[in-house]
């Protein structure tokens, strides 16, 4: 998480240092050889310099893939390409995870104190928000979508009321387009949550299906303005690459 570098200073009521759990803020990150060097003989990486022992026999196409070497943990070149593709200010806004489930779990772990803090979801919605919360012993507050006339929109006033009454809510998950509803949440509604002064946490906009929506629908365009926004995107849906377990976390 320490690799994320957002220059956003707005809104003024939000402080990432206050939100993140103290034990995470004081954590000394693990560093490996590839953090500092990308070329040369890295003896301290403890890699097999002779190559894979069995992979080439079982998977002949992997022979020239250098699978005996640890990859670059920063994925700098891939981040640069993704940032360009999505029109982001720079690669410093991008974090990669093994599927959105890992990123959801990480967000809960670094912000929510077990047996105390909470997350807010808007059912019907993606089931992994509540699963990851339960795994981390974090309570789930539910504010159902407005389902009248099949609108399936967030009830903004009700969410604000709940957030005002419960300062232990650290994350608000908004799925847009919705899973399973398919409904796009307007950017104006996302902005209203981001600017709501009673909420000191992070708004997480899950955009797994954003490529099926029209242009200008993504909240990723707001990441350089709002420090309290995280956007999840994936190559699993519209790109048909579910097997590589890739998700980008934009903040």
Residue 247: pLDDT band with limits 50, 70, 90: low
φ and ψ of 69, to 5 deg? -110, 140
Q: Inform me whether the pLDDT recorded for 4 exceeds 50.
A: no
Residue 18: beta bridge partners? none
Rounded CA gap, 90 and 55, in Å?
A: 36
pLDDT digits (tens, 9 = 90+) for 158-168: 999 999 999 99
pLDDT tens-place string over residues 172-185: 999 999 999 999 99
Three-state SS for 44?
Answer: helix
The model's pTM: 0.88
Tokens representing 16 are 């990432």
Q: DSSP string of 80-108?
A: HHHHHHHT-S-GGGEEEESHHHHHHHHHH
Across 8-27, average pLDDT: 93
Q: Return the sign of the alpha-carbon dihedral for residues 41, 91, 213, 104.
A: positive
β partners of residue 175: 206
């Amino acid at each position: 998480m320490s690799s994320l570098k957002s220059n956003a200073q707005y809104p003024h009521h939000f402080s990432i240092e206050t939100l993140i759990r103290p034990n995470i803020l004081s954590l000394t990150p693990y560093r490996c050889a590839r953090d500092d060097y990308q070329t040369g003989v890295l003896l301290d990486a403890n890699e097999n310099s002779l190559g894979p022992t069995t992979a080439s026999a079982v998977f002949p196409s992997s022979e020239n893939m250098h699978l005996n070497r640890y990859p670059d943990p920063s994925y700098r070149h891939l981040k640069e390409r993704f940032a360009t593709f999505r029109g982001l200010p720079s690669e410093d806004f991008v974090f990669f995870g093994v599927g959105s489930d890992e990123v959801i779990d990480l967000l809960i772990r670094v912000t929510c104190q077990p047996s105390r803090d909470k997350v807010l979801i808007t059912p019907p919605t993606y089931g992994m928000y509540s699963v990851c919360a339960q795994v981390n012993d974090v309570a789930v507050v539910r504010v159902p979508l407005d389902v009248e006339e099949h609108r399936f929109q967030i009830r903004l006033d009700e969410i604000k009321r709940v957030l005002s009454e419960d300062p232990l809510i650290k994350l608000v998950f908004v799925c847009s387009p919705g899973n399973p509803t398919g409904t796009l949440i307007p950017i104006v509604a996302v902005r209203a949550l981001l600017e709501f002064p009673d909420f000191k946490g992070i708004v997480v906009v899950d955009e797994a299906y954003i490529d099926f929506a029209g242009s200008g629908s993504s909240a990723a365009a707001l990441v350089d303005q709002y420090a309290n926004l995280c956007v999840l995107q994936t190559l699993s849906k519209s790109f048909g690459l579910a097997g590589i377990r890739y998700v980008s976390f934009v903040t």
